[in-house]
Chains A and B, each alone.
Chain A
Amino acid sequence: NAGVMQNPRHLVRRRGQEARLRCSPMKGHSHVYWYRQLPEEGLKFMVYLQKENIIDESGMPKERFSAEFPKEGPSILRIQQVVRGDSAAYFCASSPEFGYGYTFGSGTRLTVV
């Protein structure tokens, strides 16, 4: 069981470009969560998805950010027209439909230059 896989581990983008972060949940997990961590801070919830559905996006910025979890393939967090303030570590976690089993990936560190 490979755990929660995130890629890329590091991503550098110039201001104005798009960033795509991918997350493959643990086998058997149908729920995906995205969190953002700024330097020296805790994790902030962004969005909670199940297959083909966004359940809770209350932590997502209203503009430029979007997330999806298609029927096939990984969950994608997409940031359009990145700005320096988007530089952070983005963590994905997954959980099964029932029970606990909450597992984090190793994160994607986005740097906007």
Chain B
Amino acid sequence: SQQGEEDPQALSIQEGENATMNCSYKTSINNLQWYRQNSGRGLVHLILIRSNEREKHSGRLRVTLDTSKKSSSLLITASRAADTASYFCATKPWGTSGSRLTFGEGTQLTVNP
């Protein structure tokens, strides 16, 4: 099945709540990245975590990586309506050329005001 699978597929929360999205993958990776995509727009890089890292923070974002379970989670704390978007994880597997990434199908996050 698809390398980089997010769950849930869709998530709806109230402003101020935390949002957690998960990503699973199948092959060994060099790094894992999270991107945001607003409707009809391009992708914005959020955060990159390397295979030898377990946790990383950036502002209201917290990413964890468990290479033994081949999974990652993205936590957005104190969500805002402006966080409404699709979130994708992308992996750079070992052995692939350049910076080619494999994307999951995404989680659609809706933050209600």
13 other contacts beyond A35-B103, A45-B101, with CB at 8 A cut-off? A33-B99, A33-B100, A42-B88, A43-B103, A45-B102, A45-B103, A48-B100, A93-B99, A95-B98, A104-B42, A105-B42, A106-B41, A107-B42
Residues of B that sit less than 8 Å from A by CB: 2, 4, 33, 35, 40-45, 48, 88, 90, 96-106
How long is the Cα–Cα vector from A29 to B103 in the complex, in angstroms?
A: 22
Q: Is the interface of A mostly helix, strand, loop or mixed?
A: strand
How long is the Cα–Cα vector from A107 to B45 in the complex, in angstroms?
A: 15
Q: Please give, as numbers and ranges, the residues of chain B lying within 8 Å of A103 by CB-CB distance.
A: 45
Q: Is the interface of B mostly helix, strand, loop or mixed?
A: loop
Contact partner of B98 among A44, A56, A104, CB < 8 A?
A56
| Number of residues of chain A lying within 8 A (CB) of chain B | 23
Number of A-B contacts (CB under 8 A): 59
Contact partner of A100 among B4, B96, B99, CB < 8 A?
B99
In chain A between 83 and 113, which residues have their CB closer than 8 angstroms to a CB of chain B?
Answer: 91, 93, 95, 100, 102-107, 109
